[in-house]
Amino acid sequence: MLDSRTREIVKSTVPLLESANTALTEHFYKRMFRDNPELKDVFNLSNQASGRQPAALFTAVLAYAKNIDNPAVLSHAVERIAQKHTGFSIKPEQYDIVGHHLLETIKELAPDAATPEVIDAWGQAYGALAGIFIGREEQLYQEKEQQTGGWRGYRNFVVSEKREESALITSFLLTPEDGDAVLDFLPGQYLNLHLVSPKLANNEYRQYSLCQAANGKNYRIAVKREPNGVASNFMHDEVHIGDTLQVLPPSGDFFMEVSTDTPVVLISGGVGQTPMRAMLDKLIQHQHKADIHWLHACENGQQHAFKDSIQALRQANHNLTTHVWYREPEANAQEQAHYNATGIMDLNPLKDSIIMPHAHYYFCGPLPFMAMVKEVLAGWGINEERLHYEVFGPHETL
């Protein structure tokens, strides 16, 4: 428990943090990778290059400083980050490294303000936060290790199927090398891969959404090829049937848990449909009684993943309704057979059918897409508690 003086000192640094903005976290990462290059095998360097990771860390540091009197308001962010950390197999001693570089960064960027009292206060504040993360992450490690089919750390899985789902998305069926059961997961969660290869400059950790419901035997993930994606291009080009991958247990704080009489609306853009695919599988397998709406937007038919399987499910289940938007359909695309509307997703024409009492809405896709969906649904008066979304990559909010 931090004393009142420590909290006041940390809060007093908020204007300093705001003026520094992401220069603070950019400097932090540069010095940490300089002095601890082994951490390049832990952090996603693509997110470093894009600026997403420094921006996400800055937002988290600023939020902690502003809410130091009541850190409970950050519980959702803490849980999401803790889930991510277990997918990187983060260890307690690594928090000491991060804390050291954070304090040194403050000293180097603000030498006049970084008095011993300020550094001591931030040291205590960071230590308290690190303790929260270390405790929650150890809980998660133990929970996953002790459940049926669970494990801790790396486990070898064999690629038993590699299937092209669209021009950009390929799915991989992963089967445990030891032949034992695998840990169940909640639909919407992701699988953690540790990619090690001489063809990679650094070891890479990546999280890929699970795109079929849990079955206790294997996992299916879907990977979109990104133009400059180190890991995604490696998965597409270098990983083949029969290859072995190091896998960590499923994680994630975005998941679907609904009763069988709860209407569900699944809304996705592009590769954002992958966690929705597992949700739909779960609903169908459990003979969901309430209405299910599958709403998806993509570029065209070439980039429309899972379209045949979704169409088959729609034909076999009277309570499943689908609606698909192609931004620019190809000349040979058949409207109604393959898609329902042209252009970007517009939910307004569907308002009467998808606004249902007690319905829950799950959405995933690019940030602008999700911001649009959230704005529309909230504008219709749907409570925040019934809106659920996933942001791929570093923690961000809409």
Q: Which residues are catalytic?
A: 95, 137
Alpha-carbon span 176 to 154, nearest angstrom: 11
As a whole number of angstroms, the distance between CA 71 and CA 80 comes to 15
The answer to whether the annotation marks 271 as part of a ligand binding site is yes
**Residue 39 DSSP symbol:** G
- 22 among the known binding-site residues? no
What kind and span of H or E run contains 209? strand 204-209
Query: Was 394 annotated as part of a binding site?
Result: yes
Query: Is 239 labelled a binding residue?
Result: no
The reply to whether 13 sits in an annotated binding site is no
254 has binding-site annotation: no
Best CA proximity match to 133, nearest among 62, 94, 60, 79? 79
> Does residue 29 have a known ligand-binding role?
no
d(Cα 175, Cα 161) in Å, to the nearest integer? 9
C-beta of residue 320 within 8 angstroms of C-beta of residue 272 = no
What DSSP string runs through 69-97?
Answer: T-GGGGHHHHHHHHHHHHHTT--HHHHHH
**Contact 152/86 with Cβ under 8 angstroms?**
no
Give the DSSP letter of residue 217.
S
Report whether 379 belongs to an annotated binding site. Answer: no
Q: Is 206 annotated as a binding residue?
A: yes
Annotated binding residue 392 = yes
Determine if residue 58 is labeled as part of a ligand binding site: no
Tabulate helix, strand, coil % of the chain (nearest 5): 45, 20, 35
Check the annotation: does 85 bind a ligand: yes
Residue ranges of the binding site for heme b: 85
Residue list for the binding site for NADP(+): 270-275
| Residues that constitute the known binding site for FAD | 190, 206-209, 391-394
